[in-house]
Amino acid sequence: MSSILVLTAVDVETRGLARHLGLAAVSTSRWPHYRGGLLEVACVGPRAARLAERMAWRPPTLIISAGACGALAPDLAVGGLVVPEAVIGPDGARLHTVALPPLARAGTLLTTADVVHTPSEKARLWIETGAVAVDTESFMLLEWARGLGVPAAVIRGVSDSATMGVPPDLAALVEPSGHVSRSHALRTLLARPSAVADAIALGRGTGAALKAVAGALARLARAGR
């Protein structure tokens, strides 16, 4: 394996993974983009909205959709690792992932058009689809990789359990570029003081998720040398 391209949705995810993995910033890039050894990590925005305009990486031999996800399965804890065998898209289509020795794949991930905000929504999706977790971009990234003829997989960490949701005002803080708007965040906290506790919980969960994903990526990179 000569190159692993890791794509994330949010700049916080990109920078967090790069920090855990000791990757260096690509100085010519105008968005979060890091390299080191076999790994290259770049941010392509929520729902992979900035994928087409940010294709400035070396041709990979493997593409990974990485970052945080929300648990749908009740027994999936914050910080848990999700390496699915398949991903279900917003329209119900299903794409399979490739094997990632030494990581074990299991279960299905659901990609939705919008962030899932409440535990009741999560429960409904779990019952309807059987997916263990949910995100908003993995299906699109797998579909793009298939068009390139490059094998692809998903490595996600759980940032919010099935009993937790992502309030709409916090989800809206992430801009289409993948940047978290600080000015919008301040307005949100002033308008809804309880958002502080929600943001702290989500931040801690995201940190645990990224640590798990970084560990898995490190194992994958070592195995691919």
Question: What pLDDT, on a 0 to 100 scale, did the predictor assign at position 132?
Answer: 98
Which tokens is 45 given? 């925005």
**Averaged pLDDT for residues 32-53:** 92
Distance CA 167, CA 144 (A): 29
Burial 2-37 (b: 16+ CB within 10 A, else e): ebbbbbbbbbbbbbbbbebbebeebeeeebbbbbee
**Count of domains for the chain:** 1
Instruction: Find the mean pLDDT for residues 133-149.
Output: 96
Amino acid at 68: A
pLDDT digits (tens, 9 = 90+) for 83-139: 999 999 999 999 999 999 999 999 999 999 999 999 999 999 999 999 999 999 999
CATH number, domain with residue 91? 3.40.50.1580
Look at 165 and 224; give whichever has higher pLDDT.
165
Q: Model confidence at 225, in pLDDT bands (50, 70, 90)?
A: low
> Which tens digit of pLDDT belongs to each residue from 152-211?
999 999 999 999 988 888 888 788 777 777 777 788 877 888 878 888 888 899 999 999
Instruction: Give long-range contacts, CB 8 A cutoff, 24+ apart: 20-25.
Output: 20/210, 20/211, 20/214, 20/215, 21/214, 21/217, 21/218
Instruction: Please report the DSSP string for 97-166 in residue order.
Output: PPPBTTBPP-SEEEE-SS---SHHHHHHHHHHH--SEEESSHHHHHHHHHHHT--EEEEEEEEE-TT---
Q: Residue 71's beta-bridge partner residues?
A: 133
Q: Domain range holding 148?
A: 4-223
Predicted confidence (pLDDT) at residue 55 exceeds the cutoff of 70 = yes
Token code pair at residue 188: 């949100």
Helices (H) and strands (E) in the chain, counts: 6, 11
